[in-house]
Amino acid sequence: MKKSLVLAMAMALGVTASAYAANPFSDVPAGHWAYDSINKLAAAGVIEGYGDSTFGGDKLMTRYEMAQIVAKAMAKGANVDKLAAEFADELDNLGVRVANLEKKADNVKITGEVRYHYADNDKDVEPGYATALRSRIWVNGQINDDWKYTGMIENNQNLKDNVGNEDTKFQRAYVNGKLGGLAVQAGRYHKKLAEGNVYDQRFDGVEVAYGKDVKLVAGYGKAAASSAGHIMNSYVSGKDNDGKDVISKEYADDVFYADLTGKVGKLNLGVGYSKWGFEHDTEAVQADLTDDITIWTATANYAFDKNFNLGAMYLNGDTDGYDGDKDGYVVTASYKGAKAAKVGSWGLVAKYYDQGALTYIDHTMNGYADKYAPTTEGFKGYSVAANYTFAKNIVGQVEWYDLEAKEGNKDSQTLWSQVVFTF
């Protein structure tokens, strides 16, 4: 960072640096020309250094890194209009609005996403391929300084049958903000539990969170009634007057979840709890699981550096009268990751799964774990994935799954690919 930028940004914040006695960086001694300004920016949370108690003032900074600093300064109320104009594109990718007129006159932002995917399945459950186009329109509105609204409309087009098969739904509608010392979210929002190994779907409910370094999150509500789910499945409950099958769904309409997370150095730790109460939309349906299911998880993720992460998760599920496998674990290794704003960025992810049937409700994966019998089999196997940013806001991904049922002899291999366009 240049001398002029350090001094200018520190002055823009309008706070005297001498009030902060502690030296935040070992390579910026008290006698350094920029000591006061750097000390002040660090105390305000605008700069963080490299995480090893060094500032690295002799290193070159990318435009994206500088834009992050400008964004933090703007959030603190600093007048950095010239810098905001210079880094307008980067700030826009960070979700920061820089036009003064826009800030004052328009509190609604519309964004979108288009995803094309193709899957080739070689499996015992449902042979064949799938191809579809998914479009999403997001509406984000600022209610006041503490609260905002988010809505999302989603259209899905099945391109396999060539008959124009599609549907459009209002998939997200929620508010989030602050209530005392709590962060609150309420409405129809997306919820991922246990990194998606338990649940990854929309959720109708309310969620509260407290803390930062050690964080507690709890929520209550109703899970999505999804025929794609492993337990929340569709059943033939009888025949109508024309002799056609009557399809009924089992769904979780009484769900409670809680997660406690914290960080010790490079190690991120977490424990999770969720309880799922199941109902049926007709009395005629006879599902395999009618009792509540309780799932516990314990997670540890270690960041070797900013690029490589290794994680392990243990899962345990329980319900009355079930004699099958109730335990599971997932091991994950990830390296880097594609960023939509950075052309040429890429990442790799590898996972190994061994999950009993009671350890997941609606799994995040694009493999066929959810199809291995509604309640009895569970699954094990591995997946590998690669992602790459071809152009700004255009990201491609390829995933390979090799899975088999833990009970029985079913197995499946899935090649999943997608291209995502964001705007």
CA distances from 302 to 263, 266, 269 (A): 10, 6, 9
CA distances from 258 to 180, 217, 267, 270 (A): 20, 5, 20, 11
- For the stretch 336-340, contacts whose Cβ atoms lie closer than 8 Å and that sit 24 or more positions apart, written own/partner, are 336/307, 337/387, 338/387, 338/388, 338/389, 338/395, 338/397, 339/389, 340/93, 340/389, 340/392, 340/393, 340/394, 340/395, 340/420, 340/422
C-alpha to C-alpha distance for 358 and 268, rounded to whole angstroms: 25
C-alpha to C-alpha distance for 395 and 107, rounded to whole angstroms: 28
Instruction: Please state the pTM of the whole predicted model.
Output: 0.70
Q: What is the pLDDT along the chain (423 residues), one digit of tens a residue?
A: 444 555 556 656 654 444 444 667 777 777 777 777 777 777 777 777 776 677 777 777 777 777 777 777 777 767 677 777 777 777 777 666 554 434 444 578 899 999 999 988 876 656 678 899 999 999 999 898 899 999 999 999 988 877 767 889 889 999 999 998 899 999 999 999 999 999 999 999 999 999 988 999 999 999 876 534 455 444 445 555 666 655 555 667 789 999 999 999 999 999 999 999 876 554 443 444 456 889 999 999 999 999 999 999 999 998 887 777 889 999 999 999 999 999 999 999 999 999 988 898 888 898 876 565 444 678 899 999 999 999 999 999 999 999 988 877 778 889 999 999 999
pLDDT of residue 362: 86
Instruction: Give the amino acid at 160.
Output: K
C-alpha to C-alpha distance for 6 and 69, rounded to whole angstroms: 11
User: Which domains are assigned to the chain?
Assistant: 3-104 (no CATH), 107-422 (2.40.160.10)
C-alpha to C-alpha distance for 311 and 412, rounded to whole angstroms: 25
DSSP string, 105-122: H--EEEEEEEEEEEEEEE
- The single residue listed with the structure tokens 């977490």 is 270
How many residues belong to the chain?
423
| Chain mean position to CA 259 | 15
C-alpha to C-alpha distance for 364 and 354, rounded to whole angstroms: 15
C-alpha to C-alpha distance for 250 and 205, rounded to whole angstroms: 18
- For the stretch 303-308, contacts whose Cβ atoms lie closer than 8 Å and that sit 24 or more positions apart, written own/partner, are 303/266, 303/267, 303/268, 304/266, 307/335, 307/336, 308/333, 308/334, 308/335
Do residues 302 and 270 touch, judged by C-beta distance below 8 A?
no
154-164 per-residue burial string, b: 16 or more CB within 10 A, e: under 16: bebbeeeeeee
